[in-house]
């Protein structure tokens, strides 16, 4: 069995790591470079960096900040935000990113997934989907959760896989920042319909929530932000708990 991954997420705005609830009420929580280095020391399996206002503001991800974060890491590093063309990918990979995450650009230009997979390999492509459940239907949103689209979560995830995505990063907007647990039912449905890994995001509040997302949610990785940033749970503590629960993790 492949080990389940624990992935801290740095949502970055203006160079500072921030966190909100349900994609609003954003507050600063620390320096991105320092936090990234600390999570690598703690034994996180990967790190995700998302420039959360890049697409909305129509600008590129901070390449210089990516370089500074990457210098302090010895774990895989995924970067997203403001990516819209192949030269953006080249710049980020040159800056030290191991993978890129595309969200708004993938929905606006789905063939960008095909292009990245063809030019760099599927292992470099993470398609992030921010979705909200309303009236028993999951709708994908773009521009940092600001704009609803005509994409339905599960069919869009399947299309992304078929186009060459190597992983899906699914954030439930209903659960984001609430600390009430992940969207396990939707995650299980997605995991069962895809043959690529699914990263669960949105709702982590306790160590039990991670155990649930790996068992009930059938996710391959659990991503969280505030519980790590505010030192409510440490990565080593979480991994020890999961191992004692019979979950395969890298210690």
Q: Is 220 among the residues known to form the active site? A: no
Burial class (CB in 10 A: 0-12, 13-18, 19+), 211: buried
Q: Is 130 among the residues known to form the active site? A: yes
Distance between CA atoms of 47 and 153, rounded to whole angstroms?
Answer: 24
From the candidates 45, 51, 88, 130, which is the catalytic residue?
A: 130
From the candidates 11, 51, 176, 220, which is the catalytic residue?
A: 11
**Cα-Cα-Cα-Cα dihedral of 108, 112, 114, 117, to 10°?**
-140
Q: What is the CA radius of gyration of the chain?
A: 16
Closest CA to 166 of 87, 91, 244, 102: 102
Distance between CA atoms of 66 and 70, rounded to whole angstroms?
Answer: 6
Helical segments of 58-183, H only:
63-71, 86-95, 104-108, 111-120, 153-163
Q: Which residues are catalytic?
A: 11, 130
């Amino acid at each position: 069995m492949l080990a389940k991954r624990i992935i801290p997420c740095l949502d970055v705005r203006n160079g500072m790591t921030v966190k909100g609830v349900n994609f609003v009420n954003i507050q600063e929580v620390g320096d991105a470079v320092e936090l990234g280095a600390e999570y690598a020391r703690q034994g996180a399996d990967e790190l995700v960096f998302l420039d959360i206002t890049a697409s909305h503001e129509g600008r590129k991800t901070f390449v210089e900040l990516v370089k500074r974060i990457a210098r302090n890491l010895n774990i895989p590093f995924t970067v997203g935000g403001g990516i819209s063309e192949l030269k953006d990918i080249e710049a980020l990979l040159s800056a030290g990113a191991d993978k890129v995450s595309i969200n708004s650009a993938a929905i606006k230009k789905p063939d960008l997934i095909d292009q990245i997979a063809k030019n760099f390999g599927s292992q470099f492509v993470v398609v992030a989907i921010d979705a909200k459940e309303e009236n028993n239907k999951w709708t994908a949103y773009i521009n940092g959760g600001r704009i609803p689209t005509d994409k339905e979560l599960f069919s869009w995830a399947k299309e992304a896989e078929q186009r060459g995505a190597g992983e899906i990063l699914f954030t439930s907007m209903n659960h984001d920042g609430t600390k009430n647990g992940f969207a396990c039912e939707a995650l299980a449905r997605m995991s069962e319909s895809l043959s690529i890994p699914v990263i669960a995001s949105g709702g982590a509040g306790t160590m039990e929530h991670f155990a649930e997302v790996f068992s009930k949610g059938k996710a391959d990785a659990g991503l969280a932000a505030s519980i790590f940033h505010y030192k409510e749970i440490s990565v080593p503590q979480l991994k020890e708990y999961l191992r004692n629960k019979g979950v395969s993790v890298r210690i």
